[in-house]
């Protein structure tokens, strides 16, 4: 199972939110590039970057910082936040981003997924399904789409999509353990590969996710607080 460190960028800084609430942010570094280099030095094989300003505003805001990070490390980067049209997808991939992540666009414009796969291949895109009480949130998790997780999966399964990530918003940033029940249910429902996020607080959580069968796990707050020592993870989780 792949363990992927998350770097969330707000106002150019590396932050973590609590349950996706922009009013409950914790700044962990003013220099996201340094954080990226640190996680790479600990053995990370991929980084997960989110432009929180972009997610909220519907267009990339921290794109230059993200591209600078991608040029500063030697591992693949996947990027989400504010990616709502093909022009943005194309720009990120041309700038060296390995994989783009679409969330709101998956709800409003699933054809964007198909077009991205057609032009850049199935490894170039992933959908982020961010949900609270089983309902998908959009626009930086601020609004409810009123669409269930399973209905959205039905809508995107024919796009050619290979993988998606699932976040239980109520667990995100809480260090309260993942929502294992929902993760199991979604895995049983979907033929696609899943990356899980939200609530991961220990190596034990990661081991449980591996047993459940997710392809990867996105780790955030726990690696910043020290609840998970990233260098130990890569020696333990294979």
Q: CA of 50: how far to CAs of 45, 180, 237, in Å? A: 17, 23, 24
Beta pairing class for 21-29 and 13-18: antiparallel
Q: CA-based diameter of the chain, in Å?
A: 41
Q: Is 51 a catalytic residue?
A: no
Catalytic choice (51, 53, 130, 139)? 130
User: What contacts 24+ positions apart, CB below 8 Å, involve 225-230?
Assistant: 225/175, 227/175, 227/201, 227/202, 228/200, 228/201, 228/202, 228/203, 230/3, 230/5, 230/39, 230/42, 230/43, 230/44
Q: Is 130 a catalytic residue?
A: yes
Rg of the chain over all Cα atoms, to the nearest angstrom: 16
Instruction: List b or e across 57-87, with b for residues whose CB sees 16 or more CB atoms inside 10 angstroms.
Output: ebbbbbbebbbebbeebeeebbbbbbbbeee
Catalytic choice (8, 53, 139, 205)? 8
State how far the Cα of 38 lies from the Cα of 26, in Å rounded to an integer: 19
Q: What positions carry a catalytic annotation?
A: 8, 130
């Amino acid at each position: 199972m792949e363990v992927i460190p998350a770097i969330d960028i707000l106002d150019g800084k590396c932050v973590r939110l609590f349950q996706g609430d922009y009013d409950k942010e914790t700044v962990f570094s003013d220099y996201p590039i340094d954080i990226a280099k640190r996680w790479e030095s600990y053995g990370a094989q991929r980084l997960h970057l989110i432009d929180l300003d972009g997610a909220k505003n519907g267009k990339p805001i921290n794109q230059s910082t993200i591209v600078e990070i991608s040029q500063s490390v030697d591992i693949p980067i996947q990027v989400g936040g504010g990616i709502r049209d093909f022009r943005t997808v194309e720009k990120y991939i041309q700038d060296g981003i390995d994989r783009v992540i679409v969330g709101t666009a998956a709800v409003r414009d699933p054809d964007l997924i198909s077009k991205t796969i057609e032009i850049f291949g199935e490894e170039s895109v992933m959908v982020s399904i961010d949900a609270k009480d089983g309902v998908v949130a959009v626009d930086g998790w601020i609004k409810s789409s009123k669409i269930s997780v399973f209905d959205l999966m039905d809508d995107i399964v024919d796009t050619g999509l290979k993988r998606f990530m699932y976040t239980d918003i109520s667990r995100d940033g809480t260090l309260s353990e993942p929502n294992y029940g929902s993760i199991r249910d979604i895995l049983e429902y979907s033929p696609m590969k899943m990356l899980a996020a939200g609530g991961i607080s220990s190596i034990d959580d990661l081991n449980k996710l591996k047993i459940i069968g997710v392809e990867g796990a996105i780790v955030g707050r726990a690696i910043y607080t020290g609840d998970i020592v990233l260098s130990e993870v890569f020696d333990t989780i294979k």
